[in-house]
Amino acid sequence: MKWITWQSRYSIATYVLYLCLFAIGFMLGCERLQDSSKIIHAPEPEIFKVGMLLPGSISDQGWNALAYDGLKAIETELGAEIDYVESLTPAAWEADFRTYAMNDYQLIFGHGYEYQEAAIAVAQDYPEIIFITSAGASGAIRENVSPIVFRLEQATYLLGMIAGMMTQTDKIGIVGGQDLPSGRSTFIAFEGGVESVNPDAVVQHAYVGDWENIDKARELALAQIQEGVDFIFHNANEAGLGVFEAVVMAQDAGKTVYAFGANRDQSSISPRAVLANAVITPNAYVQLATAVKAGTFESKLHVFTMTTDGAIALTYNPALKDQVPDEVQQKVETARQQILAGTLEIQQIDFAAGDNEE
């Protein structure tokens, strides 16, 4: 019996020892698991989210397409999550801004002056979010609301120089969408470029009345060509496609006529018609988004020109550049360098302090 008792005690002691070792191992394991869980389940870096309200389709090859180009550049260069919506009516503007804000978008663009009031209304409820409205005015500045203005005038001045030096008829045309200050300002600059090299040239103006009527723009351009115009600059957004159609029709009839693209490089849209372009580049959008992401964005009126890191540019159509004489290209390049150096001032409308468009 004593042996059995000792054996039992020995077994119990062994069992207790094993149990203690198991408990210690379990506790150490839990501690390691806790430490490892801190690494495994660490919060992921916050995703930079950028939304955009557009007044039309990105297939317009102009104003809306260039904004989408900028949005895609933000996605590529900053690794942002992006989204856009065609926000077409006043009833939708505030709702669309608010939807993005409620879904934790840190930066929201409203690509047009019409979005200003809606942006201001929503922004006061979301002070941590930056709202940016294109073609805005300084009166729209708030702590987290900033207007931006794209000044194409320097580039359109250079287009005017090309037209003034190359015209064979001394008749040059302009086709606009609506008669609004910023569009009119690009036309003033274009005419200034024409006059600087050819004071005898006459520039004709025509307005479509909207930004979508391609047929009307084509009719206006054909009428100008019929009167002897051999270069046409448009700032008519989607309607401007009608200008290109008119130019190709005239070329098919044996006339030497060219057009210029606006806002976006439109060379590929009509390789036969578009000689050169005044372009808003994606750089402008990337500059703004970079500052917002870094927390260095300043709420003010942001103005983009040819001197702001290539935000505005003159581009030639590669398929037609050889049609532009070397002496013309050289003279235009000299003027471009003068603009960049600040020694050539371009006439334009100072509309930034008031109402604006696009």
Task: Tell me the per-residue pLDDT of 39-52, one tens digit each, with 9 for 90 and over.
Answer: 444 445 589 999 99
Q: Which residue is associated with the tokens 């015209």?
A: 167
Question: What is the pLDDT at residue 133?
Answer: 95
Cα dihedral 22, 23, 29, 34, rounded to 10, equals 170
Question: What is the pLDDT at residue 351?
Answer: 58
Cα dihedral 225, 230, 233, 236, rounded to 10, equals 20
Token pair belonging to 76: 């590529």
Question: What is the pLDDT at residue 53?
Answer: 98
Question: What is the pLDDT at residue 352?
Answer: 54
Q: How far is CA 241 from CA 140, 149, 267, in A?
A: 32, 24, 11
Token pair belonging to 26: 């379990």
Q: What share of the chain is helix, strand, coil (3-state, %, to 5)?
A: 50, 20, 30
Question: What is the pLDDT at residue 60?
Answer: 85
Query: Which stretches does DSSP call E strand in the chain?
Result: 49-54, 81-86, 107-110, 130-134, 145-150, 171-176, 202-207, 231-235, 258-263, 274-280, 302-304, 312-316
Question: What is the pLDDT at residue 170?
Answer: 98
0.85 exceeded by pTM: no
d(CA 15, CA 1): 21
pLDDT (tens digit, 0 to 9) for every residue of the chain, 358 residues total? 333 343 444 444 444 444 444 444 444 444 444 444 444 444 455 899 999 999 989 988 889 999 999 999 999 999 999 999 999 999 999 999 999 999 999 999 999 989 999 999 999 999 999 999 997 677 779 999 999 999 999 999 999 999 999 999 999 999 999 998 888 999 999 999 999 999 999 999 999 999 899 999 999 999 999 999 999 999 998 999 999 999 999 999 999 999 999 999 999 999 999 999 999 999 999 999 999 999 999 999 999 999 887 899 999 999 999 999 999 999 999 999 999 999 999 998 875 544 444 4
d(CA 12, CA 85): 74
pLDDT > 70: what percent of the chain? Answer: 84
Single-letter amino acid code for the residue at 83: D
